Amino acid sequence: MGRVTSSDRHAERGNQIIEFALLVPVMITVLMLAVDGGRLMTAYNAVKNASREAAHYAATEGIGPVTDCDGTISETDTIKLAQVIENEGSGLLKANKVTCITVTDTPINLVCGWCSSTSPPQNQKVRAVHVRYQFEFINPVLSRNPITIYSDGAWHKP
């Protein structure tokens, strides 16, 4: 067994610094992926809730049928719906990231999986809103490829 000299301890400290320097970018990337995953799930839930609220707004305000899916929301009615989506998104959603809004009158049996043949009447229609939302990652590796979140909401017409 040899003696441990000060130069051996200095070399060991240098190895620890190099290992730390190599590990930090990997740990930051894993952390950013976890944060982005949480943001994605939160945005999905926010878009889902906002599409239901947009359907409610469209049904009560008499908006639709209308389609605005050219990538920028430009129709007067769909601009209002994009604002409803932004307001209902709890500060997470931005109206300029909504790339498509479609408002249709849909037979209830196409949107109601729990409905029986007696409740509610099958010939009744609902106002359905289809929303596409562009989600962007904060991770620089993933930020080149944004994800489009799709959601549908439906509301009984008054």
**Could you read off the pLDDT tens digit of each residue along the chain, which spans 158 residues?**
556 565 666 667 778 888 889 999 999 989 998 999 999 999 999 999 998 898 888 888 888 788 888 766 677 888 888 888 888 887 788 888 888 888 888 776 555 555 555 555 556 678 888 899 999 888 877 778 889 999 988 887 76
**Other residues' Cβ atoms within 10 Å of the Cβ of residue 19:** 10
Which distant-in-sequence residues (6+ apart) come within 8 Å of 61 by Cβ?
80
Ramachandran angles phi, psi of 66, nearest 5°: -155, 150
Domain ranges for the chain:
6-156
Copy the structure tokens of residue 37: 């995953």
CA distance 83 to 93: 10
How does the average pLDDT of the chain come out, rounded?
Answer: 80
The predicted pLDDT at position 102 comes to 87
| pTM beyond 0.85, yes or no | no
The predicted pLDDT at position 22 comes to 92
Angle between helices 6-61 and 76-88 (to 10 degrees): 130
CA distance 113 to 104: 18
Strand-pair category, 66-68 with 125-135: unpaired
